[in-house]
Structure 1
Amino acid sequence: MNQIKIVGSAINALSYFSSDLAAKLAIKIFSTPRNAKLNEEGIQYLSSAEQMDVTCDGFQVKTYQWKGNHKTVLLVHGWDSNSFRWKNFIELLKQDDYNIISIDAPAHGASGSKIFNAPLYAKCLDVVINQYKPEIVVGHSVGGTAIVIAQETHNLPSIEKLVLLGAPSNLGISVKNYTTMMGYNHRVAEAMNRYYLKYFGHLPEYYCVENFYSNINAKGLIIHDKKDQIISFREALDIKRVYKNSELVKTNGYGHRLRSEKVYQHILDFLNA
């Protein structure tokens, strides 16, 4: 039995004594990044930026700025990542003199907090967006979801263009995939739903396209790879179905990370149009 199944079996066993405690542990595992800290190369590269901490929910969120005279672009990474993931794209944006902002998510990179989830990320993005007033936001994976939650919840007027890279369409799907991967029983799954209702006010499936994409005015670009093993391409189709003011670009072979000169060129063409 591999390590994931061992942990899942242990939490299942705990659920027969306390389903609430089992759910709390299951969500803690789901909300704790594993490889999100900056390495030495990342620290060195990001030292070229002007750095500033902003306060969100009682902890510090690290932001990075490479100043330019063109429009302001905010870069929002996903799970188990940090601002260094944007290095190659930042260099391309510099060539067009964009004013570039990047953020380390809660519990990622050089930011504070011990936990991470999309609603918390959205709350931090609201603070950062009101600080820097970006006209363009580019989000990868759950970073894209957090942008959309922030936009719908806080009605952020500065955003003119929105780029979503490998973004999930429904957090309920992500939670279900996690429970399946861990092999959790129905007692744990039901207790997790109760936990979300208690602490977030909504079930995970509340964060879906119908509730968060239909009112977006910003022009959108959705890029998703057919061979994405993390977030199914079907979720990109679901976003496009509701996000009317958007176009969908399908790639093949770049996986979930979408780190490619071709992908970056699609984004630059969209930004400069």
Structure 2
Amino acid sequence: MKAFFVKIIGFFINLISFISPRTAGKMAIKLFSSPRKIKLKEVEKDFLDTAFTEDIKYAGLSIRTYRWLGKNDTILLAHGWESNSFRWKPLIEKLKTLDYNIVALDAPAHGHSTGKLFNAILYAECINIVAKKFEANIIIGHSVGGMATAFFQQKYQLKSVEKLVLLGAPSNFVGVFRRYVNMMSYNERVSQTMNELILERFNEKPDYFNAARLSEHIKADGLIIHDELDKIIPYNDAEDFKTFYKKSKLIKTKGYGHGLRAEEVNDYILDFINT
């Protein structure tokens, strides 16, 4: 049923493109950049209420941060699309036993952060201000949170950051856009106009935003974990990262999907950050 409605929306935007490609392109970009605002469950609220919370301002947005205090290195956690900081609960509990200083943020338009639109470039800027404020030593990002983490560190090379962990991270905008276009069955008019709008907005074409290629400039050590059966972000994206991110190692898992919610994955992370 969900796939049926997706195709209907795509068909509608395609029709508009015959009248106004620009209008259709704007609609497609807005849809692509508008996560659902998912209300937190009581169990999620209860856990997040155990943290110290602080809202940090950026570009008219209020970015919610959560902190569990510890004496060891500061670890910053960046979740993915339509998620929130609760997704890290099992890992946070392990990190707390090791007395790490833990910071998690809700991305723009997610959780308790404000905003209606979201993209990896904006997320990278939010990660930057949070990482600077709390002097993060290690950053762990899932999915688009991993892509945004790579964009952030490549751009700012924050000296306090010593290690990055990228979990199921997309390696480039072109691939993400292609999968979105295919899912919606957009025609060439819509696809081309989307690319033109990205150029207008960011002064770069979509192919510039290749997190894997840009990661060759990152000096921090990296760990890339990706499931070979990931149906959201293909495993090839992890191999792209490994090709360019010379200071990283790649771990392939099987059966954990895109979410990578598994004790084994958390153990890989702990082994990496503890060495």
Please indicate the TM-score interval, normalised by the length of the shorter structure.
over 0.9
Compute the displacement of 1:34 (Å).
2.1
Q: What aligned pairs does 1:10-21 form with structure 2 within 5 A after superposition? A: 10-21=12-23
Pairing 1:1-273 to 2, within 5 Å after superposition: 2-34=4-36, 36-209=38-211, 211-273=213-275
Cα distance per residue 1:30-49 (max 9 Å; x no partner): 11112544222211110000
Aligned 8 A contact 1:224 1:233 in 2: yes
* Cα drift, residue 202 of structure 1: 1.6
**Structure 2 contact 151–211 (Cα < 8 Å) conserved:** no
Paired letter, 2:28 = A
2:196, 2:80 → 1: CA distance?
A: 26
Query: Shift of the alpha carbon at 1:150?
Result: 1.0
C-alpha displacement of 1:154: 2.1
Please say if residues 105 and 111 of structure 1, whose CA atoms lie closer than 8 Å, have aligned partners that are also in contact. Answer: yes
Q: CA deviation at 1:157?
A: 1.4
SS for the counterpart of 2:32 is helix
Deviates more, 1:260-269 or 1:146-155: 146-155
Q: TM-score, normalised by structure 2?
A: 0.97
Counterpart residue type for residue 189 of structure 1: S
2: CA distance, partners of 1:210 / 1:125: 18
User: 2: distance between equivalents of 1:148 and 1:38?
Assistant: 28
Instruction: Give 5+ residue unaligned stretches, structure 1.
Output: none
SS of match in other structure, 1:244 = coil
Distance in 2 (CA, whole Å) between partners of 1:210 and 1:251 is: 19
Q: In 1, Cα distance between the equivalents of 2:176 and 2:41?
A: 27
The verdict on how the C-alpha distance between 1:271 and 1:59 changes in structure 2, with shifts beyond 3 A counting, is same
CA separation in 2, counterparts of 1:247 and 1:35?
Answer: 35
Q: Is the 8 A contact 1:209 1:242 kept in 2?
A: no
Query: What is the DSSP-based 3-state SS (H/G/I as helix, E as strand, rest coil) of the residue aligned with 1:168?
Result: coil
Report the CA distance between 1:211 and its aligned residue: 4.2
Deviation at 1:203, TM superposition (A): 2.0
User: Quick one: distance in 2 between partners of 1:124 and 1:235?
Assistant: 24
TM-score of the pair, normalised by structure 1: 0.98
Per-residue CA deviation, residues 98-123 of structure 1 (Å, 9 max, x unaligned), is 00000000000000110000000011
Cα separation, 2, equivalents of 1:123 and 1:144: 13
State the identity %.
48
State the SS of the aligned residue for 1:11.
helix
User: Is the Cα–Cα contact under 8 Å of residues 169 and 209 in structure 1 kept in the other structure?
Assistant: yes
> Residue 222 of structure 1 aligns to which amino acid in structure 2?
I
- Number of residue pairs the alignment of both structures matches: 273
**Structure 2, unpaired ranges of 5+:** none
Q: Secondary structure at the match of 1:68?
A: coil
